[in-house]
Amino acid sequence: MRFYLATGLLSSLSLDALAQTQIGQTCVTDDVCYKLSIPEATAQNGDGNIFLSLSAPTIYSWIGLGIGPSMTNSDMFVMYTNGNGNVTLSPRYSEGRAQPQFDGDLDVELLSGSGVENGIMTANFRCGNCARSRTANFDAQDGQWIHGRRTGDAMNTTDVQARIMKHDVQGGFTWAYSSAVGGASTNPFAASDTVISGSTSSSSGGNRAMRSNILLVHGIFASLAFLVFFPVGAIIMRLGQFNNVLGVHIATQVFSWLLFITAFGLGLYYGITGNYMTKAHPIIGIVLVAMMIFQPLAGWLHHRQFMRSGQRSTISHGHVWIGRIAIILGIINGGLGLELGGVETRYVIAYSVVAGVIDLAYIASIIYGEITRSRRTSVASSGHEKINSSPGRTLVTA
């Protein structure tokens, strides 16, 4: 009899443990935390209700949480104060780096426990169709999430479609769903048997810093290549009036090429790991690499042929025109990269001004160089005819 009683007691305790509400918590800073609870039924089916909570001090204008590894095709939840002691929860959808737009098709319900208390704003809510996202799979071991926030004045609005200022902090993390599965509460954040587990300062820390540095170096190297050294090297070749102008041109262009290849490698890594490869900026980057990969060899063949004959060959025309198109396309793509990266408007304006000046100078040098070349060719042809028509003279060519 004692054996059966003990077995029954253990079974009862086991069932209680299985029914216990689990909450997985991730704090990206000491005071900004996100919580997740996945009911047993949702974990088994991969679809159904999940429960989320966003919490942060009111020093932030807004904070947000998104499903997936990037803003591309991400369901997002943005919280801000409503001005009446409570919070506004705005479900949104993001197609890319542009501001996420309100999405009324997201089934969300704000739960008790939400509001503003002691300078902390909290949004507890249920999401009934979060599994609609292609990146959401709640019967998996874990999932990728993104987050963002903006420091500033409280928004104090009930408008779920309110315009939000661009985030000044953003990142991503992996959520271990095993720590969030359990129970069947209609509001796990108010349940008495809730067990909270999780981590502080998630992978958004070091990994985010590394990715941010990669993106920064990519942008600097690519900008230096297409905004400075490639066009300057080409301008030197057309306008330079000093000894060894060819050597300076070659050295500048080779250095530019190395900068670009390095920038492309960094950008390719960032684009693949961040799921950006379907955007215009990385696609154009791949096109540029295809155009530029053989430019050093084509340039060597071009200058070798030109020094022998004084005339441009098919390779010469290819080298010259691929270079011209690539420089202009590279400058345009830099602007697309700034847009994709969501940088501040002032930097976009500064880049545009510098790009405009460089473009004009480069195009002017092309026109001047072609006019000068045409005149030289005409003079050379005239001299050639005079030499041929003068008895006793020998033709000398460069």
pLDDT tens digits for range 276-291: 788 889 999 999 999 8
Q: Which of 113-117, 203-207, 312-316 tops mean pLDDT?
A: 113-117
- pLDDT surpasses 90 at 164: yes
Question: What three-state secondary structure class fits 26?
Answer: strand
Query: Which residues have CB under 8 Å from 307's CB, separation 6+?
Result: none
Cα separation, 288 vs 227, in Å, equals: 14
Q: What is the pLDDT of residues 279-328, one digit of tens each?
A: 889 999 999 999 888 888 877 776 677 666 666 677 777 788 888 899 99
Among 181, 203, 225, residue at a domain's last position: 203
Q: What is the pLDDT of residue 96?
A: 75
Q: What is the pLDDT of residue 379?
A: 53
Query: Which residues have CB under 8 Å from 337's CB, separation 6+?
Result: 219, 222, 267, 281
Among 174, 203, 232, residue at a domain's last position: 203
Same domain, 79 and 222: no
Same domain, 234 and 312: yes
Question: pLDDT averaged over the chain?
Answer: 81
Same domain, 196 and 227: no
- The pairs formed by 249-257 with CB atoms below 8 angstroms and a separation of 24 or more are 250/299, 250/303, 253/229, 253/295, 253/296, 253/299, 254/296, 255/229, 256/224, 256/225, 256/226, 256/229, 256/230, 257/225, 257/292, 257/295, 257/296
Beta strands in the chain (DSSP E): 22-27, 33-37, 50-57, 60-67, 74-81, 87-94, 101-102, 108-110, 115-117, 120-127, 142-151, 169-176, 195-200
Tokens representing 10 are 């253990």
Same domain, 191 and 338: no
Residue 369 structural domain: 208-389
Predicted TM-score (pTM) of the model is 0.51
Cα separation, 171 vs 202, in Å, equals: 10
- pLDDT surpasses 50 at 398: no
Q: What is the pLDDT of residue 395?
A: 30
**pLDDT tier for residue 333 given thresholds of 50, 70 and 90:** very high
Give the distance between the most distant pair of CA atoms in the chain: 132
Q: What is the pLDDT of residue 378?
A: 60
**pLDDT tier for residue 132 given thresholds of 50, 70 and 90:** confident
Same domain, 199 and 325: no
The CATH code of the domain that includes 99 is 2.60.40.1210
Give residue for tokens 């070659």: 250
Average pLDDT over residues 50-56: 95
DSSP structure string for 136-188: --TTSSEEEEEEEEEESS------TT---PPPSEEEEEEEEGGGTB----S-T
Q: Which of 80-84, 166-170, 306-310 tops mean pLDDT?
A: 80-84
326 vs 161, 230, 233, 285, 320, CA distance in Å?
41, 9, 14, 10, 10
Same domain, 247 and 164: no
Same domain, 160 and 221: no
Same domain, 117 and 142: yes
Same domain, 293 and 160: no
Q: What is the CA radius of gyration of the chain?
A: 31
| Residues β-bridged to residue 23 | 196
